[in-house]
């Protein structure tokens, strides 16, 4: 393995009993040598992992059992396993591999927890791999769509990259969709969305059309509003009102630090296994100037450009499918 990585205890110690900006001491050796620098967290005790909900997409004629070389698909903020259902089924069919589409913590059917950051999400996925006995999985991560003027704030891709760098022995390879291992300047869109979503919860809506009317002043894009409203549900069979299944207060507190990437020094932590970065050429989230940094963190990376915006998978599903298949098919 190239470079050093922080231990699981270092991840926990970095946040234990801290409020505000945390800087982990960096040395040439020792548990904090991966330069894990966190941004604005609010926790009072070491974090624990949660058991992730998932959908398993099984191929008709698998090349191996469901534990061997599966794909783990991760969504971003306000997403869920259902967002990746179609492409997961396609990849399961074409690659004849099992695909696990997971709900990350505080999303979908997975448990809620007061902590929501990349180390915690990566640790959840690592535990998922161990709990299910998965061998040499492929990680695929993408973010939720964001307003065209601002970058997305939380990314399945950053969770995947953080896990690959922290525990490379657990992972066979990585696919990051329109994202890079860098800190991002955050816009205000998601805080604005949460305000609108809180208004919906307070209104006690019974129909999605009512919720959409409340959310419209907060977001003009119908597609993004539909995406956000996909988180509405009826808490019980007897309930007439709809509420958001995501814990809005927890996610609101997490927004300040979800733009940061937890690893800062590629000289000290690398993922020396194959990695594919799929970039939308009409998107601004993987500019040419960050490509050298990608190569430092992921020295065996490949870059594929797709003529699309940030919504690479939904805009150009066939181009994305072809890129993934070329990357994952056995090389002669």
Let me know if residue 97 belongs to a domain: yes
Going by DSSP bridges, is the β-strand pair 275-280/243-244 parallel, antiparallel, or unpaired? unpaired
Is 244 in the same domain as 309?
Answer: no
Mean confidence (pLDDT) of the chain = 84
| Predicted confidence (pLDDT) per residue in 275-285, tens digit | 999 999 999 88
The residue behind tokens 């690398």 is: 270
Among 207, 239, 254, the domain-final residue is 254
Q: Are 222 and 313 in the same domain?
A: no
> What DSSP assignment string belongs to 268-314?
TB---S-EEEEEETT-SSS-GGGHHHHHHH-TTEEEEEESS-S-HHH
Q: Provide the residue range defining the domain that includes 61.
A: 54-186+258-328
Total count of domains within the chain: 2
Q: Which residues pair with 195 in a beta bridge?
A: none
Residue 184, Cβ neighbours under 10 Å: how many? 18
The pLDDT of residue 185: 60
Contact criterion met (CB below 8 Å) for 234 and 86: no
Which of 224, 254, 284 delimits the end of a domain? Answer: 254
Residues 161, 232, single domain; the answer is no
Which comes out higher in pLDDT, residue 26 or 262?
A: 262
Per-residue pLDDT at 30 exceeds 50: no
pLDDT digits (tens, 9 = 90+) for 156-200: 899 999 999 999 999 999 999 999 999 876 556 788 999 999 999
- Which CATH number do you get for residue 140? 3.40.50.1820
The confidence score (pLDDT) of residue 70 equals 98
Distance of alpha carbon 76 from alpha carbon 144, whole angstroms: 5
319: alpha, beta or left? (left if phi > 0; alpha if psi -120 to 50) = alpha
Does the annotation count 51 as an active-site position? no
pLDDT tops 70 at residue 144? no
Label residue 4 by pLDDT band (50, 70, 90).
very low
Annotated catalytic residue 143: yes
Catalytic residue among 143, 166, 257, 283: 143
What is the biggest distance separating any 2 CA atoms in the chain, rounded to whole angstroms? 59
Report if residue 194 sits inside a domain: yes
Specify whether 182 is located in the same domain as 194: no
- Tell me which of 57, 107, 116, 310 is the catalytic residue: 310
Q: What local confidence, expressed as pLDDT, does residue 13 receive?
A: 39
pLDDT at residue number 142: 85
Residue range 141-151: mean pLDDT, rounded: 55
Question: Do residue 75 and residue 118 come from a single domain?
Answer: yes
Q: What is the pLDDT of residue 93?
A: 97
């Amino acid at each position: 393995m190239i470079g050093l990585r922080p231990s699981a205890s270092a991840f926990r110690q970095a946040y234990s009993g801290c409020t505000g900006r945390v800087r982990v001491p960096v040395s040439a050796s020792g548990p904090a040598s991966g330069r894990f620098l966190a941004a604005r967290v609010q926790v009072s005790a070491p974090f624990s992992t949660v058991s992730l909900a998932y959908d398993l997409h099984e191929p008709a004629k698998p090349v191996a059992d469901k534990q061997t070389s599966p794909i783990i698909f991760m969504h971003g903020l306000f997403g869920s396993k259902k967002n990746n259902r179609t492409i997961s089924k396609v990849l399961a069919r074409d690659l004849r591999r099992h695909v696990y589409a997971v709900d990350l913590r505080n999303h979908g059917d997975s448990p809620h927890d007061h902590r929501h950051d990349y180390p915690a999400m990566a640790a959840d996925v690592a535990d998922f791999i161990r709990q299910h006995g998965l061998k040499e999985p492929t990680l695929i991560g993408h973010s939720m769509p964001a307003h065209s003027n601002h970058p997305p704030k939380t990314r399945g891709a950053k969770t995947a990259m953080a896990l690959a760098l922290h525990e490379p022995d657990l992972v066979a390879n990585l696919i990051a969709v329109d994202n890079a291992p860098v800190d991002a300047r955050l816009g205000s869109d998601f805080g604005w969305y949460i305000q609108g979503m809180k208004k919906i919860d307070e209104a006690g809506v019974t129909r999605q059309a009512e919720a959409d009317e409340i959310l419209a002043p907060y977001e003009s894009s119908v597609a993004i509003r539909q995406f956000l409203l996909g988180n509405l549900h009826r808490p019980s069979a007897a309930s007439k009102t709809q509420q958001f299944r995501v814990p809005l207060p927890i996610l609101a507190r997490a927004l300040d630090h979800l733009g940061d990437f937890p690893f800062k020094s590629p000289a000290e932590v690398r993922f020396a296994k194959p990695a594919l970065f799929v970039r939308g050429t009409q998107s601004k989230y993987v500019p040419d100037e960050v490509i050298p940094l990608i190569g430092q963190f992921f020295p065996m990376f490949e870059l594929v450009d797709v003529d699309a915006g940030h919504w690479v998978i939904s805009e150009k599903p066939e181009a994305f499918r072809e890129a993934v298949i070329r990357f994952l098919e056995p090389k002669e």
